[in-house]
Amino acid sequence: MQGVSLRMARPDDAPAMTVTQRASWLAAYGEVLGADMLTQLSVTEHLQIWQSRLAGSGPRPMLICQDEVVIGLLYWQLVLDSTEPSALIRAFYLHPEHWRLGHGKRLWQAVAMQMRRAGCGSVRLWLLDGNRIGEGFYLRRGFVFDGQARTLMSLGQACLQRQMFRLL
């Protein structure tokens, strides 16, 4: 038994990352958007997005694995549009079978250290309004809502997102 480990994603991790993201979406967003809508989202499209990201030279997601099986991912990018570099969390998903066991906290702590080493003084993310699970997690990590909001369309449905922020 290998236990829990952290590592950077590799191109062959795309299928496992897709499974983890979709399971997390259904559990966290199903109540907000409706599980029927979420199941309409193409598995192939999600897989292709991760394959493309992992094939490129851009940032690599950090993975948390249980016995070498991917159970979570945190994907962020460096933002250089202010006086000091900041970080933007693009995706943070943990398979719901592993929620509330400390794995998300461990993954966040490791990536926050990466962000600080990259010179980031703060981090932002967009949270789907009504995602109580994610909101609670981020609030416990010191994030606050900064008052910014945006509405995106997904399968013809308006999805309100609110931005959260914290200093590193």
Going by pLDDT thresholds of 50, 70 and 90, the confidence category of residue 39 is: low
Neighbours of 7 (CB within 10 A): 14
pLDDT at residue 7 tops 70 = yes
pLDDT at 46: 84
Model pLDDT, residue 51 = 95
pLDDT of residue 30: 75
Task: Please write the tens of the pLDDT for every residue from 44-77.
Answer: 888 999 999 999 888 899 999 999 999 999 999 9
Distances, alpha carbon 7 to alpha carbons 22, 128, 133, 168, in Å: 20, 27, 24, 21
| pLDDT of the residue at 28 | 84
Q: Which of 86, 143, 89 is nearest to 120 (CA)?
A: 86
In whole angstroms, how large is the CA radius of gyration of the chain? Answer: 16
Only one residue has tokens 């910014």, namely: 148
φ and ψ at residue 92, rounded to 5 degrees: -145, 105
d(C-alpha 46, C-alpha 42), whole Å = 6
What pLDDT score was predicted for residue 33?
Answer: 74
Helix axes 132-140, 14-33, angle to 10 degrees: 110
Task: Give the three-state DSSP class for 50.
Answer: helix
Identify the weakest region by mean pLDDT among 22-26, 40-44, 66-70, 100-104: 40-44
32 pLDDT above the threshold of 80: no
Of the candidates 72, 44, 58, 78, the one whose C-alpha atom is nearest the C-alpha of residue 11 is 58
Digit-coded pLDDT (tens) for 107-160: 999 999 999 999 999 999 999 999 999 999 999 999 999 999 999 886 677 889
